[in-house]
Amino acid sequence: MTDTPHSFPGVSYVKTPGRSAVSDNAPVEQTVSEVLAAVRERGDEAVREYAKKFDNSALDAFEVSNAERQDALDALDPQSRADTQFAIDNVRAFAEAQLTTILPLDVEPLPGVHMGHRVIPMERVGCYVPGGRYPLLSAPVMTIVPAKVAGVDEVIACLPPNAHPAMIAGCHLSGADRIFRIGGAQAIAAMAYGTETVPRSDKIVGPGNAFVNEAKRQVFGPIGIDQLAGPSEIFVLADSTGDAEMIATDMLAQAEHDVRTRVGLITTDVELAKAVDAEVARQLTGLSTAETAGTAWRDYGEIAVCEDEAAMIAYSDYIAAEHLQVHTADPHNLSQKLRNYGSLFIGELASVVYSDKCSGTNHTLPTMAAGRYTGGLWVGTYVKIATHQWLTAEGVKQVAPPAARQAATEGMEGHRRAAQMRLDRLQS
């Protein structure tokens, strides 16, 4: 993660983070490396050992049976089930709309040269569903539903053995084909390499703790991953029209995720900056999750004051926040000038919490400034765009001569022969 600078052109600070966002990951790397090697070599036996060591779990069977799925559904109160279904419906509808924008292609850029691509769903995807500090009922919805919309043949889900039963119900309602009670790095290893019980996945998606994240990093290559997601982030862009109470409320809502949540306000108004700082302190005195949110605010919270809108935009694009809210007099106009973010929330009525839970856009988003080069999880994560071409005789006449000449210039005689052969045969 890029550290927030204590000096940036046109920016001063009312509050800076109390700790560096960059931490020593060496102990995590070593532990994860050992877990991956053990699971790859010994399969279920190693998974069982780590489940006992890390989760105090001694399950005889990892996979959730159909009867256990039904029990989890029966235990889900009617309102929670209705709310979960509401979220599923919205995420599905948005994913279906996105999928319509990913189209097959067939073109003929030169006479007789036909090119195109197919949109191919993956065969099997593994979704990691974190247990976390709270039972995040939206977590399975965000990873499993878009996979099913994309047409993935088999979607498996792994969640910690001690996860709330409602999480199992959420996996089932979202469409998971198989559900396993395996958490942590050992779950990533099982999905990446396969065991006697868990099938090998082509791609692994979903957020998790530092061990899950590191495991995804280490298995990447033969196995695809969505991204490396760190602790959650929220920044708010605001001018003098900003509402200090609302801004503080939204920042603390995200800060309660984790003690390492990165929380910030970027504003052009120093009075608003001071008011938000005071409002955060006031709200923390009455927030039931203040132990977590307050620690995040103390250690990673910041308030930056920019000399003008241009400096605010430049600093925001440097931060590339996971969640970026825009609370200005003309939020739609300002939003068009922003480039780097995970997901954008335009105007004060658009709170991150709606996307986190149920509005339809995905809450699995890039952190640690990765918004500079990628967006978040979406239906396109689960498909491959694979190109193809075919040529007629006329097409060979178009491309063979320059291809052969280029190969000859490069000294690649085999390439030159392959290019020239078809042309020679056609001419004879």
Out of 214, 256, 302, 322, pick the active-site residue: 322
Out of 164, 323, 327, 363, pick the active-site residue: 323
Is 257 one of the catalytic residues? no
Is 388 one of the catalytic residues? no
Q: What is the 3-state secondary structure (H, E, C) of the chain?
A: CCCCCCCECCEEEEECCCCCCCCCCHHHHHHHHHHHHHHHHHCHHHHHHHHHHHHCCCCCCCECCHHHHHHHHHHCCHHHHHHHHHHHHHHHHHHHHHHCCCCCEEEEEECCEEEEEEEEECCEEEEECCCCCCCCCCHHHHHHHHHHHHCCCEEEEEECCCCCHHHHHHHHHHCCCEEEECCHHHHHHHHHHCCCCCCCCCEEECCCCHHHHHHHHHHECCEEECCCCCCCEEEEEECCCCCHHHHHHHHHHHHCCCCCCEEEEEECCHHHHHHHHHHHHHHHCCCCCHHHHHHHHHHHEEEEEECCHHHHHHHHHHHCCCEEEEECCCHHHHHCCCCCCCEEEECCCCCHHHHHHCCCCCCCCCCCCHHHCCCCCCHHHHEEEEEEEEECHHHHHHHHHHHHHHHHHHCCHHHHHHHHHHHHHHHC
Residues with catalytic annotation?
322-323
